Structures are given as C-alpha cells and as structure tokens.
Structure 1
C-alpha cells in the first residue's frame, strides 16, 4: 500500500526525471545550434542571401522544436500546477510584459509574413536590410541616414519584435525587386522652371531606361496576381509649391529597389552636367 511518504518519493523521482530530461534536451539543443552554425559557415553557396535565409529558417525551426519538446516533457507537471500558476500569472505577466510582447510580435511577424531575410524595411525611424530575425528580435544592417539616403551606415540595428504590434512597417521589397521610386528637387519660382524640368526628365529617362522593361514586366505580373491596374513605369515629373517663391520637382523613375540610391545620384549628376548655369540665376 502506498503511503503519503512513498507518493512524495515517487513525485520527487518524476520531477528529477523531468529536470534531467530538460537538461539533456537543452545541452543537445545548444550543441545542435553550434553544429548548424559551423556547417553553414563552411557551406559553399554562391547566393549569400539564400544562404542567410536557409540558416535563419533552420535556426528558428530548431528553436521551435526545442520549445515543443520542452512542453511535452513538462506537460504532466504543467497540468498539475495549472491552478497554482494561475495565482501568479498576473505578476508574471507584469514582470515579463516586454518579453511577452516581443514573442507576440514575433508570432505576428511570422504569421503575417511581413518580411524575409534580404528585404529592406522601415519602421519608425529605423531602416535597413534584414539579416536575421527570430521570435524576440530582428536584426538590420542600417540604411541611411534618413529615408532619402540609400547607403549602408556601417551600423547594425537589433530591434525588439514588440515594435511591429504598434507601428506601421514599410517593406520596400515586398512585391518586387524592381520598382518605382521618387525624389524631390527644390527650386525658386523665379528660376527657369521649364529648362530645369526638361533637363531633369532627360536625365531620368537616360538613367532609368535600362530598367524600364524589367519594371514593366514585374508590375504586369503583380497587376495580374493582385487584380489591380498596371502602373505606368515611365519617368514622370510633378511639381508642387510648399511655400511662396519655392517649387519642388518630384522626379519619379524605375530602378531596382537596392540600386535606387545609385540611380538617383546618376540622375542628379547627369542633370548638373547638362543644365545651363543661368537657369538658376533668375532669382538673384
């Protein structure tokens, strides 16, 4: 006949078994993560972006399997302690609020497929190329400074996933690797606006012509897939007046997403080489 003392002894053995199993599982998980990291570091894949995507997918899959196995090991104990855990759930939720929000943000990110490794994203004042992400954080190679500069700053941004729950995200490479971009060019109302516009258009056409065919095909596929009207990818120039005596030219052009900064600089350089010097002298 089992006495209270023997029942307590059996429960102690069961708890010890779970702890040992959890420890062995954790050691195996760490060793496997290290092994996977070494394998990928030696893996000869020419496409670096594909290699990063495969590594992140493998790493996150191992993490998910680890947590599932941990839940299976402790399922019986979790059920036994469910009522007692409910008493401290509120305190834990408050203490680990940010941690839980990061996990929820990670789940939201994965389920909504907000971005992938290699995508260029912007959220709040943070902008860069995604190089790694998991259930807690997302790592970016920063692009900028600001939204008008398209160069790597040399800094790495590690942002918590909770930010995706409360702020809109811009994915510059969500639909296609080549797209329509724009930048602003300021002038005075007394400048030779007609000459400025014609030279800007000429420079935009010369710089973006190599990419227009690919852009047309890309947006044609997107329009068919999404059931939307196919946009015109040819260069365009619009004007608006932010204040008296000033005019802003908005130059729109087609270019690969990750080359738009270079194409923009090419347009500006071509424009400055061909524009007559007296086109900007009328306001003086």
Structure 2
C-alpha cells in the first residue's frame, strides 16, 4: 500500500517525532490501564475505606510504572530526549504552569500532611470536608454558604492543589479535633444571678463532660508539639452588665463535627432548668416597658349651625 510506504518513509525521515509519538502512546496505554483497574476495584469492593485506599494504591503504582517505563524508553536515547525537552520546555512551562504547581501542591500535601481525606478544612474561602486528594485536585463536600451552621450544602467542590501555596489553610481536625464555641444568655435584672451561674455551669459540665475529658489529653500533645500556651478546656462563664440585662457568655470546647447539635442540647437544657426555678431566673428580651402615659387634654368645640 502506498500510504503505508509513505508512513514508513516519513517515520524514517523524522525519528525524533516518531520517538515522541511512541512515548505518548505508551503513556496513554498506562493511563488507560490505571483507569480500568480503578473502575474494576470500584465495582467489586464494597467497603468505602478499602475501596478508596485500593484505588489510590493502583494510581500510585501506575505512576511508578510510568516513571520506570519512561526511564527505560529513553535509555540510550538521551540525546533525542534532551532535544525534545529543549523544544517543548518553554511552551510547556508557560502553558502547564498551573498543572505543575498543582502536582507540586499534591506532593506538598502528602509529604507535609497539610490535610488528608476526612479532615474538615477551609481554603480559598471554601469550607468543607475533604473527600479526596489526587495529583491535581482536592475534592471537598461544601459546608456553610446559604446553609446555617456546619451543615452540608450538597455541592461537591474541586479545588486545585496549587492553592496550598497561595493562602492560609484552616484545618479543623488535624492534631486537635476540637474547637471552642460559645453563645450569650441575657438574664433580666432582679433574677437570682448566683443561681443562674450555677445552673449554666452545671448543665454545661454534664453535657460537655466527654468532650472536656477527651480534649485535655490531646491538648497536652498540642502544647508539647507546638510553641503555644496552655488553655482552659473546661466550660467557662463570663458576665457583662448592659443597659438592658445581665449578659452571660458561655464558652466551651466541642468536637468540630458536633457543634450544632451540642449548642442545641445546651440551649434546651438551660431553658428547662431556668423554667424550673419558678420565676427566680428570667431570660431577658428586647422589649419596651411604658412606665407612665402622659395625660391628654382634648377639647372638642361644638359645631354651630349656619342655617
């Protein structure tokens, strides 16, 4: 066939381009094999953790095989390889700089352990739980936005790994999977303040006992690892006098995934305890009390007939 003969002659005249084409074909075959085995494992492994780890293992093995095959392919052809790199390096560096930065970011995430799947983080203004980290993207289940408190929005966000070099990363779960939270309680003047203080502390101590106990040992590890002062993890109460009421601020430590449910339990228990005091403690509200209404003197003149 004439076209087969033409291809052979063209390949013989352009060995460098032919070599690059064969290498790209080899890379494509390896990548296809990686995706095939990933899908096979996804269908046959039911456990979520085992499925995720096995797919990541196949991906890493595939990349290692690709590196080995690349080294073997160019052995004895270093000159051709150097020429190819010289031709494409400038264009590739400009066109794929974000890609290279993302790959470097994935290595940085893996080596430094910035975060891992399962962590709750905030990066580039986006907060969520990390559900996957690959060589290019970090995939997150978004939290917040139009949804109040720490609830999922339902949106899955893919964020370039390059962002680890471009701004701060807030990790809610690394080293210390607890956060400090708190809320204000307005108490009306004239209430039994000492009784209110004892009720709030008692309720908080009972509900938060597990969080407090577990956080104390982990906080010691944080203090030993980092240059940081010791902190109080027991529930604490601060009082502030205002024009309208006495404001109590309850501060406590809680598991980062149970912030909303814990706050709800605290508010409900404190409300019930206050109601059981039979009016000794009354929650204040932004209402207005009219002390005295001024007297109004209204004179209505009689109408005169014009007839």
1:266 positional shift: 1.4
By percentage of residues, which structure has more helix?
Answer: 1
Structure 2 spans left out of the alignment, 5+ residues = 1-8, 276-280, 289-307
The answer for the alignment partner of 1:262 in structure 2 is 261
Q: Distance in 1 between matches of 2:40 and 2:246?
A: 57
1:51 positional shift: 3.1
Bigger CA radius of gyration:
2
What is the TM-score normalised by the length of structure 1? 0.74
Contact kept? 2:186, 2:283, Cα under 8 Å:
no
- Select 1:30's aligned residue among 26, 29, 32: 32
Contact kept? 2:187, 2:283, Cα under 8 Å:
no
The answer for the alignment partner of 2:126 in structure 1 is 126
1:9 and 2:8 aligned: no
The answer for the alignment partner of 1:19 in structure 2 is 21
1:151 positional shift: 1.7
SS, match of residue 81 in structure 1: helix
Structure 1 spans left out of the alignment, 5+ residues = 1-5
Q: Distance in 2 between matches of 1:147 and 1:252?
A: 23
Question: What is the number of equivalent residue pairs in this alignment?
Answer: 269
SS, match of residue 130 in structure 1: strand
What is the TM-score normalised by the length of structure 2? 0.70
Contact kept? 1:143, 1:152, Cα under 8 Å:
yes
Contact kept? 2:41, 2:55, Cα under 8 Å:
no
The answer for the alignment partner of 1:3 in structure 2 is none
Residue-by-residue CA offset, 1:208-255 (whole Å, 9 max, x unaligned): 1133222223223444455765543211234679x9879875533233
- CA 248–131 in structure 1, closer or farther in 2 if over 3 Å, else same: farther
Q: Distance in 1 between matches of 2:13 and 2:53?
A: 45
After TM superposition, the structure 1 stretch with the greater mean CA deviation from structure 2, 251-260 or 120-129, is: 251-260
SS, match of residue 139 in structure 1: strand
Aligned ranges 1:84-233 → 2 under 5 Å: 84-85=87-88, 89=90, 92-145=92-145, 149-177=149-177, 179-185=178-184, 187=186, 194=193, 198-226=198-226, 230-233=230-233
Contact kept? 1:235, 1:252, Cα under 8 Å:
yes
After TM superposition, the structure 1 stretch with the greater mean CA deviation from structure 2, 52-61 or 256-265, is: 52-61
Q: Distance in 2 between matches of 1:130 and 1:9?
A: 51
1:200 positional shift: 3.8
Q: Taking CA–CA contacts closer than 8 Å with sequence separation of 6 or more, which of the two structures ends up with the larger relative contact order?
A: 1
Contact kept? 1:191, 1:283, Cα under 8 Å:
no
Give the aligned CA root-mean-square deviation in angstroms.
3.8
Q: Distance in 1 between matches of 2:235 and 2:14?
A: 75
The answer for the alignment partner of 1:278 in structure 2 is 282
The answer for the alignment partner of 1:78 in structure 2 is 81
1:131 positional shift: 0.5
Q: Distance in 1 between matches of 2:140 and 2:86?
A: 42
